């Protein structure tokens, strides 16, 4: 074999090794990204199950609507900053605003998140939208990521009017068809 042939074979072998290494690196990066997204999603769901957050959620679900009828309470939402001792509902707005930011920036996969939590996003946006609107009278653009997340949840609902259960799978509850 001539030196030129050996040089060509070595070049081709080097190219193949580099190409295989690059492909392996891309596959590994994809797996790392998905693992990081899963970790982020798990931390969000763990936070939402925290007893303090569950207490806050119960407050928003059961007490906030009556509190918002009080003009003094509503006026408290115009303060900058809002006194969160009087308005703990702002913490739940913060939580969903942060989640919205993570989803919007791609740190958490939107389809995976909304597949699991679309209902709660819509529920809490519905319960908190008056609070957000009142707060925005003096602090424009507050909780925009929460609003964006609620809009995306609404779109998810419209795209899945019959839920997203695989159509070729057997249903365990016979009434769900």
What pLDDT, on a 0 to 100 scale, did the predictor assign at position 176?
Answer: 56
What pLDDT, on a 0 to 100 scale, did the predictor assign at position 20?
Answer: 82
Q: What is the largest CA-CA distance in the chain?
A: 93
pTM here is: 0.80
User: Running along the chain, 177 residues long, what does each successive block of 10 average in pLDDT?
Assistant: 81 85 85 81 88 96 97 95 96 97 93 94 97 95 97 96 90 74
């Amino acid at each position: 074999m001539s030196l030129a042939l050996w040089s060509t074979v070595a070049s081709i072998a080097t190219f193949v090794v580099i190409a295989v290494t690059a492909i392996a690196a891309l596959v590994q990066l994809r797996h790392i990204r998905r693992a990081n997204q899963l970790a982020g999603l798990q931390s969000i769901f763990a936070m939402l199950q925290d007893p303090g957050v569950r207490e806050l959620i119960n407050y928003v679900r059961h007490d906030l609507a009556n509190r918002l009828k009080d003009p003094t309470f509503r006026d408290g939402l115009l303060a900058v900053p809002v006194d969160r001792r009087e308005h703990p509902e702002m913490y739940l707005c913060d939580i969903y605003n942060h989640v919205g930011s993570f989803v919007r920036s791609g740190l958490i996969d939107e389809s995976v998140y909304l597949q699991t939590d679309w209902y709660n996003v819509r529920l809490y946006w519905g319960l908190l939208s008056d609070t957000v609107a009142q707060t925005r009278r003096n602090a424009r653009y507050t909780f925009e990521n929460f609003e964006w997340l609620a809009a995306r949840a609404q779109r998810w609902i419209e795209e899945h009017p019959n839920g997203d259960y695989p159509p070729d799978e057997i249903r365990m509850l016979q009434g769900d068809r």
